[in-house]
Homo-oligomer: A and B are copies of this chain.
């Protein structure tokens, strides 16, 4: 197998090595190009990205810190598995962060923040209209990430980003059975959330975010149980 020419010829600036590896791996993990449980061979990766093992390892340490990969001591590092048994902890955290970040955005946002949030919402609406499920997943993440950003709390935002990425992984996993009737509802809910933030109505923002989160959690749970049933029927 020959390497892609881009990886060979493109000269990367000094210092951008780890970030490059980190970005590549992160994307591949979140997009399930590297499915949960798949081992990551440092040497192979070093050859593929045409660089030494050192920056690869540093990127892996960073990913391990974010929980995306798990390093078995003296053994291979693997893409972290999704813990289906404790999914409720994920849902709890996701729901609370939806609420908190939206509340804070209603309180602390600037006019410029609103512009960006509206732009993200437009992206999302476009993806829904195009019935592009993959784009929906990605743009939906950006929409909520931007709201968290407007909330100006890096602690909450940091956890929320991590949860949103984990959610992307989950959604990709059940992408095949993605129900495309619901998203239109999401568009409307997003619009309401934007209105509440713009009006600085904290209580309403909280309530809408909470309902929105419940909606998403329910959809994921439906996907999972539907998938279970299908597997049993096989």
Given contacts A61-B58, A61-B61, A65-B62, contact A74 B155 (CB under 8 A): no
Main secondary structure of the interface of A (DSSP, over half): helix
Q: Is the beta-carbon distance between A155 and B58 smaller than 8 angstroms?
A: no
Min CB gap A83→B, angstroms: 9
Q: Is the beta-carbon distance between A152 and B89 smaller than 8 angstroms?
A: yes
A175 within 8 Å of B (CB atoms): no
Looking across the interface, which residue of chain B has its beta carbon closest to that of A156?
B93
Looking across the interface, which residue of chain B has its beta carbon closest to that of A16?
B73
Residues 143-160 of A, flagged 1 when their CB comes within 8 A of B and 0 if not, give: 000000000111110110
Q: Is the beta-carbon distance between A93 and B155 smaller than 8 angstroms?
A: yes
Looking across the interface, which residue of chain B has its beta carbon closest to that of A100?
B96
Looking across the interface, which residue of chain B has its beta carbon closest to that of A157?
B89
Chain B residues with CB under 8 A of A74: 14-15
Instruction: Give the CA-CA distance A156 to B58 in the complex, in Å.
Output: 26
Give the one of A58, A74, A163 with max B CB within 10 A. A58
A157-177 at interface with B (beta carbon < 8 Å): 158-159, 162-163
Q: Is the beta-carbon distance between A155 and B15 smaller than 8 angstroms?
A: no
A41 within 8 Å of B (CB atoms): no
**Contact check: which of B57, B61, B153, B159 meets A92 at CB < 8 Å?**
B153
Integer count of this chain's copies in the complex: 2
Q: Is the beta-carbon distance between A153 and B93 smaller than 8 angstroms?
A: yes
Min CB gap A215→B, angstroms: 20
Chain B residues with CB under 8 A of A57: 58
Q: How large is the interface on A (under 10, 10 to 19, 20 to 34, 35 or more residues)?
A: 20 to 34
Chain B residues with CB under 8 A of A93: 153, 155-156
A66 within 8 Å of B (CB atoms): yes
Looking across the interface, which residue of chain B has its beta carbon closest to that of A159?
B159
**Contact check: which of B61, B153, B155, B163 meets A62 at CB < 8 Å?**
B61
A54 within 8 Å of B (CB atoms): yes
Q: Is the beta-carbon distance between A89 and B155 smaller than 8 angstroms?
A: yes
22 A-B pairs whose Cβ atoms sit less than 8 Å apart in the complex: A14-B74, A15-B74, A18-B61, A57-B58, A58-B61, A61-B61, A62-B62, A62-B64, A62-B65, A65-B66, A86-B152, A89-B153, A89-B155, A90-B155, A92-B104, A92-B153, A92-B155, A92-B156, A96-B100, A155-B159, A155-B162, A159-B159
